[in-house]
Structure 1
Amino acid sequence: MGMYYQQPYRNVTEKKSSRTVTVTGEQTIDARPDMAVAQIGAVTSDKELTEAQRMNTEISSAILNSFKQNEIAEKDIQTSTYQIYPQYDYQDGKQLFKGYEVRQVFSVNIRNIEKIGEIIDDAVQSGANIIERVQFAIAEPGIFYQQALTEAYADAFEKAQVLAASSGMTLSPAPLEINEDTSIPMIPAPGKAFVLAAESTAPVQPGEIGITARLTVKYKLMP
C-alpha cells in the first residue's frame, strides 16, 4: 500500500513594499532686529581692596543712572559679573603684590534700538570702561518663524513632486512623517572689548537676523 503525503496548507499574503520619498525643505526669513543686549561695566584697581570697591561702586552707580536717564527699565538691567582679583607684578622671578582689581558688568536689554550708540556713549561718559559685546535680537521671532516654516514645507513638497514625477510615480499629498529642525541665530555687532572714551555717538549697525526653518518630510509614492 502506497503512502500519500500532503503538504500542509499555508495561508500566504503577498505584501507589496511601500515606496516612499524623503526630502528636506528649508527657508530663511531675514528680519531687522528690534532690541539689543549689551554688556556694559567698569573695572577699577587700587592697592587697597576697600578703595577699589569704593571706586567701582561710584562708577557703577553713575552708569546705572545713565541707563535710567535713557529710560531703560530696572527689569532690563542685571548684574552679570562681579569679580575681585589680586594683582601681582613679577620682578627678578619674584611675585610682588600690586593691589586689587574689581570688575562689575551689567547685562542691559535695550529696547529702543535707535538709541544704542547714545546709550553706550552716555555710559562711557559716566565712567564705563568695559563694553564686552552687543548682541541683536528680535523680541517676537515667532511671527517670522511661522512664515519661514510655511515656506520650508512648500519647498519640501515641491522637491517631492519633482522626484515623484522623475520616477514615474504619483505623490500622495498627505505626508507620512514630518521632522522639524530650527535655528534662530543672533548676529553680534562689531564691538570693542575695552573702551576708554567716546567723543561722539558710537556707530552701531544692527544688520539683519536670519530666522531659519528646516523640515524633513516623508511622502508615500503611488503607481
Structure 2
Amino acid sequence: MQKIQFFPQQPNQTGGLTTKTRRFSLGQIVIATIAPLAAFSAVGFTGNLIRPVSAQVQQEQNMRTLTVTGIGDRPVQTTKAQISLGIEITAPTAGQVQTEIARRSNALVDKLRELNVEKLQTQNINLNANYVFENNRRRQEGFTGSSTVSFMVPVDRAGEALDESVSAGANRIERITFAATPTAIAAARDLALQDAVEDAQSQADVVLDRLGFTAKTIRTVAIGNPNVPRPIPLNNARLAVSESLQADPTPVIGGEQRVRATVTLEIVY
C-alpha cells in the first residue's frame, strides 16, 4: 500500500507559506469517495428505499372479481346388489348346532357358486349358550349358532339369488345394498362437473347483467371433491320378499344413487 506523504509548509519568498501537493494512489481516491457514504450509514439511517409498484401489480390490485359456486347433480342407476344371508340354528347341544350349520352352509355355498355370484365370502360364525332365568336363578337351555355369507349379483338376478338361497337353507337376510359400477359413477361425475360449470356461469351472467357489467375472463377455477355415493341400503330401496317359495323369483328393484359436484369460478369483470 502506498503511503500518503505530507510536506510541511515552508515560508515563500514573500514571507507567506507555501503548501506541497499531497500524493494519493488511485485506491485511496476511491476510499475517499466512499467514505462519506459510510459516514451517512453510520449515523443510523434505517429508512427503506421506496420501490415503484409494477404496472402488473397495480392492475391486479385494481381488478374487480366475482366469485360464484355452481352445483351439479346426476343420478346413476344401481346395477349391483350386495347381499348378506345368514343361517341360524338352535339345538340342545353345541354339537347339534354345529352339525346343522355346517350342513346348511355347505348347501348354501354350493348353490351360490352354481349361480356364479361375485365376491362370495364367509363373514362370521357364532356359537352361544342360551340361558333362562327361573326363581332368580340362571339356567342354561341349549345353544344357538349362526353363520353369515355375503356375495354380489346383478340387481336383476338378486331376487333369484334370494329364493335359491332360502331353498338351500338360509333363514336370515342380514343386509342388502345396491350400488352402481365404478365406471357408471365416474361417467355421472363427469356430467355433474359439466352441470356445475354451467350453473356457475349462469349465476355470474345473471348477477353481472343486472349490475350492468360484462364478464371479461376467468381468473381461477376450483373443483370441489365430488361425493362418492354410498350404496343404498335396503330401507332406501324397494324389496318384496315372498313368504313362501314361488315359481317366479322375488322382485328386487335397486333404485338410483346420486353423484354431486361443485365448481367455483373467480370471474374478472
Instruction: Normalising by structure 2, report the TM-score.
Output: 0.68
Counterparts in 2 of 1:98 and 1:10: CA distance versus 1, 3 Å = same
Residue 131 (structure 1) aligned to one of 164, 167, 173:
173
CA distance in 1, matches of 2:85, 2:217: 53
Q: Shift in Å at residue 164 of structure 1?
A: 2.7
Do the aligned partners of 1:87 and 1:100 also contact (CA within 8 Å) in 2?
A: yes
- Mapping for residues 34-183 of structure 1, pairs under 5 Å: 34-73=79-118, 76-111=119-154, 113-139=155-181, 140=183, 141-183=185-227
Q: Shift in Å at residue 12 of structure 1?
A: 6.5
Q: Shift in Å at residue 166 of structure 1?
A: 2.8
- Give 3-state SS (helix, strand or coil) of 2:166's partner: helix
Do the aligned partners of 2:67 and 2:264 also contact (CA within 8 Å) in 1?
A: yes
CA distance in 1, matches of 2:116, 2:101: 23
Q: Shift in Å at residue 94 of structure 1?
A: 1.9
Q: Deviations over 1:53-84 (max 9, x none)?
A: 111111111111221222225xx201122222
Counterparts in 2 of 1:172 and 1:77: CA distance versus 1, 3 Å = farther
Q: Shift in Å at residue 172 of structure 1?
A: 4.2
CA distance in 2, matches of 1:25, 1:55: 58
User: Any unmatched runs of 5+ in structure 2?
Assistant: 1-47
Counterparts in 2 of 1:94 and 1:151: CA distance versus 1, 3 Å = same
CA distance in 1, matches of 2:138, 2:161: 41
Q: Shift in Å at residue 220 of structure 1?
A: 3.0
CA distance in 2, matches of 1:196, 1:91: 38
Moved more, 78-87 or 51-60: 78-87
CA RMSD of aligned residues (A): 2.7
Do the aligned partners of 1:81 and 1:104 also contact (CA within 8 Å) in 2?
A: yes
Do the aligned partners of 1:169 and 1:221 also contact (CA within 8 Å) in 2?
A: no
Q: Which residue of structure 2 lines up, in the alignment, with residue 204 of structure 1? A: 252
Q: Which residue of structure 1 lines up, in the alignment, with residue 261 of structure 2? A: 214
Counterparts in 2 of 1:81 and 1:156: CA distance versus 1, 3 Å = farther
- Give 3-state SS (helix, strand or coil) of 1:56's partner: helix
- Give 3-state SS (helix, strand or coil) of 1:170's partner: coil
Higher helix share: 2
Q: Shift in Å at residue 11 of structure 1?
A: 5.1
Q: Shift in Å at residue 137 of structure 1?
A: 0.9
Question: Among the aligned pairs, what percent are the same residue?
Answer: 22
Greater relative contact order (CA < 8 Å, ≥ 6 in sequence):
1
Q: Which residue of structure 2 lines up, in the alignment, with residue 3 of structure 1? A: none
Aligned letter for 1:157? Q
Counterparts in 2 of 1:161 and 1:52: CA distance versus 1, 3 Å = same
Number of residue equivalences: 210
CA distance in 2, matches of 1:196, 1:115: 15
Do the aligned partners of 1:77 and 1:107 also contact (CA within 8 Å) in 2?
A: yes
Moved more, 197-206 or 123-132: 197-206
Q: Which residue of structure 2 lines up, in the alignment, with residue 4 of structure 1? A: none
Aligned letter for 1:149? L
